[in-house]
C-alpha cells in the first residue's frame, strides 16, 4: 500500500519538478500541497458519503473560528505526509528508488480521478437531493 503511495508522490514530484525547470525545493513543496489537498478532499468526500449512507449526524470540527478549523484539518494531513515522505531526506531515497518506475503519471491520474469524483458527487447531489438531506421537510 505504501509502495503505491510513494509512487504517486514521486510521479507528482517529477511532473512538478519538470514544470519548475528542475527546482527541487519548489517541487517538494508543491507536490506535498497537491497530495495533501487531494487527500483531504477524498477523505471528506468518502466520509460524507458514509455518514449520509449510515444516517449519522456528527460535527467533527466544532471550532468557533473557521480558520482554526481549516488549519487543524490541513495540519492533520500535512504532518503525517511530511514524516512519511520528506523527513530525514526520505524524499531523496524515494526518488532514487521510484524515479524509473513512475512512467505512468500516477500522481496526475490520482489528482484527475479525485476531481472527477467531486464533479460526480456534485451531479449526484443535484439529481438526488433527498438522499443527501438537502430538501426541506
- pLDDT tens for 84-123 read 888 888 888 888 888 777 666 888 888 888 889 888 888 8
According to the model, what pLDDT value does residue 50 have? 79
Find the helix packing angle between 2-19 and 66-85, rounded to 10°.
Answer: 100
In three-state secondary structure terms, 137 is coil
In three-state secondary structure terms, 61 is coil
Q: Which three cell numbers stand for residue 113?
A: 480521478
pTM: 0.76
Amino acid at each position: 500500500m505504501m509502495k503505491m503511495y510513494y509512487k504517486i508522490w514521486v510521479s507528482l514530484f517529477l511532473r512538478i519538478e519538470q514544470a519548475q525547470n528542475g527546482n527541487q525545493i519548489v517541487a517538494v513543496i508543491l507536490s506535498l500541497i497537491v497530495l495533501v489537498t487531494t487527500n483531504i478532499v477524498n477523505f471528506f468526500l468518502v466520509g460524507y458519503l458514509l455518514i449520509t449512507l449510515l444516517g449519522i449526524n456528527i460535527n467533527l470540527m466544532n471550532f468557533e473560528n473557521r480558520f482554526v478549523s481549516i488549519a487543524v484539518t490541513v495540519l492533520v494531513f500535512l504532518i503525517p505526509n511530511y514524516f512519511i515522505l520528506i523527513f530525514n531526506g526520505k524524499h531523496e531515497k524515494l526518488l532514487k528508488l521510484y524515479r524509473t518506475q513512475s512512467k505512468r503519471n500516477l500522481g496526475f491520474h490520482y489528482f484527475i480521478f479525485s476531481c472527477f469524483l467531486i464533479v460526480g458527487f456534485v451531479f449526484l447531489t443535484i439529481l438526488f437531493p433527498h438522499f443527501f438531506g438537502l430538501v426541506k421537510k
